[in-house]
Amino acid sequence: MSDPILFPARLAIQQRVLPAYRLPFFDALASACTGGLSLFAGQPLLDEQIATAGALQVAKLVPARNRHLFSPASPLYQCWQDGIIAWLET
């Protein structure tokens, strides 16, 4: 079997929310990043009923504070995540 392909840097990924079913993907991706992977994600609205992840094993989860403008079902929906610039700079 051939050696795995590694990404020779740090990787930063922003998500509005981190659903539980994406945990294995992001941990597998983090294991291929030699500099690590940092994931910035917030919480959904209560009525969205999205099962969110508790913790990642390999990737670093940085919690975001989501500010939801309008309903996610609306074509005018926007989500502002406080702290994203500070997260990117660190």
Model confidence pLDDT, tens digit, residues 12-53: 999 999 999 999 999 999 999 999 999 999 999 988 889 987
Is the confidence at residue 67, as pLDDT, over 70?
yes
Burial class (CB in 10 A: 0-12, 13-18, 19+), 37: buried
Q: Which pTM value belongs to this model?
A: 0.87
Q: Residue 12's closest CA among 43, 42, 35, 45?
A: 35
Two structure tokens written together for 62? 């940085």
